[in-house]
A and B are shown apart, each in its own frame.
Chain A
Amino acid sequence: MNGKRTFGGGDQAAEEAARWFVRLQSEAADAGDWQAFEAWLAASPDHVAAYEHLESLWVDLEAAPQVIAHRLDQVALRPAPRRTRGIALRNPGRRAWIAGAGAIAASLVVAVEIANRPAGVDDTLTLRAAPGETRQYVLADGTRINLNAGSEIQVRMGRDARRVTMADAEAVFDVAHDARRPFLITSGDREVRVVGTMFNLRQRDGKMALTVRRGIVEVRPAGAPQAPATRVTVGQQLAHSQGGESVLTADGLSDSAFAWTTGQLVYRGQPLGEVAADLSRRFATPVRTADADAASLRFSGVLVLDNEPAVLRRIEAFAPVTAVRAADGVILRRRAGG
């Protein structure tokens, strides 16, 4: 292919746009790079158009990540080497920053595989999903952890036990079976004990909610391994308030606890304040309720988490509130006469 064409300069613009696009994705791009990019854009409307074209296909590719990833797997002659020994977490601080930058780019699900820790190394890893993004992690034992936005957990893969601590987080755990190394999660003042199962665990504002999709999970007070356990099984939900009682229910609606993993939130009469907190974790612009009155409104419905303005419009349609944009976020206010 000859690089230049007189008509519209299309090929050259496309090539340069691709070079800029890749260079500017790097954290190493500095003020000088962005200024040079600005000069390039200003040089020709073709440049602006070529760059926009790349952005639009970049976004379009996200429409079906599973389908595309599957296709790429089929086409590639053999699967890519997936062992990222040490990379993902060699420097947790750095990793966290990368996660933070990703948060800007909506809630695209990314998978990061955590390497097998060398024998004897038993340090604690921090897994994090910044506000605005969800993250999937695969531990060395095959356990999958899908972290909801605005969550942080600590993981320690010990020889005798696999331990997770969560103070403010929500995650779906698909725990690999390993009878000799129980999977123990300290969630607020409860300890959740797992052998091999899949469940969603939410620990927010002193309230815990556990929903089991497969297997059996035991819950007892944290730090009291001899205390009698509550067993939670498929389709059951355990709700517990810090320092208070636990309530076990089986209402046949347990699937809704997993809805966030497919980009939805399902509510049945939850206070609007809780909905606002969930949205603040999922999107770039924080959402809050104007006052206690608005916060206590009960909200029911399925919210598809495609983009924040659309979600806010749907909330306005399904609850007697208006969403008002302020300098520091969005405020949900009860509609007059609503």
Chain B
Amino acid sequence: MEQEGRSALIELYLERRADLIRFFTLRLRSASAAEDLVQDIYVRLSGVTDTPDIQNPVGYLYRLGSNLMLDRLRGERRGAFRDGAWLDTQRTVMGAQEVADEPSAEQVVADRQRLAALVSALGDLNPQTQRVFRMHKFEGLTHPQVAATLGISRSAVEKHIMAALKHLAAVAR
């Protein structure tokens, strides 16, 4: 059962590989970066041990790749953007050595300002939009879960999140 689910996904992946590469070439503006990413999707699929009951297997492949892109972005934004730096607390010390890869002071300041702007922009949103956004983004609830929790429709949830994103995007420009 588990084996079947896994290999079906890999079959689908092989079938769609060229489509995925075309799509991620557009996203990454680079064919070779897209090749790498699509290879990572494969690695990820071979590590899937659950046999999830997938609604849209093709959509899943694209979403997996898009999430890997986000993960890379997260990797690039480390450093000043760590909680520790934001809260001005201690640095991590390994033995006697500080962990390397600290960003430049200018970068730290710029990143903090950007983060402060985002945090303050969240406060501009109306309370219900804030609530929806928080539940989805920070508490990890899916759109249907947020909808059921607040007793609103799924499309209302999507509208709140869209409104929040548009506002944040305008502020963080």
Contacts and interface: CB of A to CB of B under 8 A. Distances in A.
A227 interface: no
B83 A75 contact: no
A306 interface: yes
Contacts of B52: 96-97, 100-101
A182 to B, nearest CB: 30
Nearest to B147: A87
A8 to B, nearest CB: 12
B75 A53 contact: no
A9 interface: no
Query: Which one of B22, B68, B81, B169 has the greatest number of beta carbons of chain A within 10 Å?
Result: B169
A284 B53 contact: no
Interface string B126-145: 01001101110111111101
Nearest to B39: A327
Contact of A328 (B43, B68, B101): B43
A63 interface: yes
Given A27-B56, A57-B169, A104-B64, A38 B140 contact: no
B42 to A, nearest CB: 8
A284 B52 CA distance: 17
A24 B63 contact: yes
Contact of B53 (A93, A102, A308): A93
Interface string A320-338: 0000000111000000000
Contacts of A41: 26-27
Choose among A34, A50, A307 the residue with the greatest number of B CB atoms under 10 Å from its CB. Answer: A34
Q: How large is the interface on A (under 10, 10 to 19, 20 to 34, 35 or more residues)?
A: 35 or more
A100 B50 contact: yes
The majority secondary structure among interface residues of chain B is helix
B7 to A, nearest CB: 15
A258 to B, nearest CB: 15
Interface in B83-102: 83, 86-87, 92-95, 99-101
B53 A94 contact: yes
Contacts of A59: 70, 73-74, 77
A110 B46 CA distance: 25
A61 B59 contact: no
B107 to A, nearest CB: 13
A293 interface: no
Given A28-B55, A42-B26, A88-B145, A69 B134 contact: yes
Interface residues of B, number: 82
B149 interface: yes
B18 interface: no
A323 B47 CA distance: 19
Contacts of A112: 139-141
Contacts of B64: 104
B172 interface: yes
Interface in A18-77: 18-19, 21-31, 33-34, 38, 41-42, 48, 50, 53-69, 71-72, 75-77
A306 B75 contact: yes
Contact of A65 (B58, B138, B141, B149): B138
Contact of B172 (A19, A53, A284, A307): A53
A130 B77 CA distance: 23
Given A67-B86, A112-B140, A75 B130 contact: yes
A80 interface: yes
A321 B141 CA distance: 40
B56 A30 contact: yes
A153 to B, nearest CB: 16
Interface in A265-316: 284-286, 300-302, 304, 306-310, 314
19 contacts: A18-B166, A19-B162, A24-B66, A26-B142, A63-B86, A64-B86, A65-B83, A67-B83, A72-B130, A77-B127, A88-B145, A104-B63, A105-B71, A110-B139, A111-B140, A284-B68, A300-B95, A314-B94, A318-B94
Interface of B: 22-23, 26-27, 29, 39-40, 42-44, 46-48, 50, 52-56, 58-60, 62-64, 66-71, 73-75, 77-78, 81-83, 86-87, 92-95, 99-101, 111, 114-115, 118-119, 122-123, 127, 130-131, 133-135, 137-143, 145, 148-150, 158, 161-162, 165-166, 168-170, 172-173
Given A38-B22, A68-B138, A104-B67, 6 more contacts: A19-B162, A64-B119, A72-B123, A72-B130, A97-B53, A314-B94
3 tightest Cβ-Cβ pairs between the two chains A and B: A110-B140, A307-B75, A63-B81
